[in-house]
Amino acid sequence: MINLNIFSELFISFFKIGLFGFGGGYSMLALLEREIVQLHKWLSATEFVDIIAVAEMTPGAVAINSATFVGYQIAGVGGAIIATLGVIIPSLLLVIPAARLVTLFYQSKKLQHALHGIHPAVLALIGLAAYVVGVNSIVDIKSALIGGGALTLLIFTRIHPLMLIALGAVAGTMFYL
């Protein structure tokens, strides 16, 4: 039997994430964590980090992949479809009119000032997401070494993100076997 209540909760939660997730997928992570882990308790913090890791490794936007994975975890294929639609629909409804307005008013000083204010707010959301994922990912000295090594490679080399993920998988396998 289909549980319409869980479908409506999934849709509303992911619609809110899609509607207020300024700055793209990574800035949405804080919103995702709040809805999924704290508010609804659909997943534990560890499960959330695992789903984010899988969502980052698969092609597509992190927020959409996360919605699909969480929806599937909670309510199967129907939940995946509902959660994905929930996170996508706000963009479909807002991007075209917003793009038109930005194009018309891009030279406006007020719009420029608003955008300059949005940038640090988005950075704060990304920082919070990094903190939440970090707290749940760096659980021992081995994971700290992997994370520190990955950050060092990102800062000081031009390593491709896919190579970094592969190296993390190799290091995890070596450290935790």
> What digits encode the pLDDT tens for the residues 114-160?
888 888 988 887 888 788 888 888 989 999 999 999 999 999 999 98
| Per-position b or e across 110-123, b if 16+ CB within 10 A of its CB | eeeeeeeeeeeebe
Domain residues of the chain, as ranges?
Answer: 4-105
Question: What is the per-residue pLDDT across 47-85, written as a single tens digit (0 to 9) for each?
Answer: 998 888 888 888 888 889 999 999 999 999 999 999 999
pLDDT at position 22 is 67
Q: What separation in angstroms does the CA of 52 have from each of 7, 38, 55, 70?
A: 21, 16, 5, 10
Dihedral sign, Cα of residue 75, residue 128, residue 54, residue 81: positive
Q: What is Dmax (Cα atoms) for the chain?
A: 58
pTM summary value: 0.68
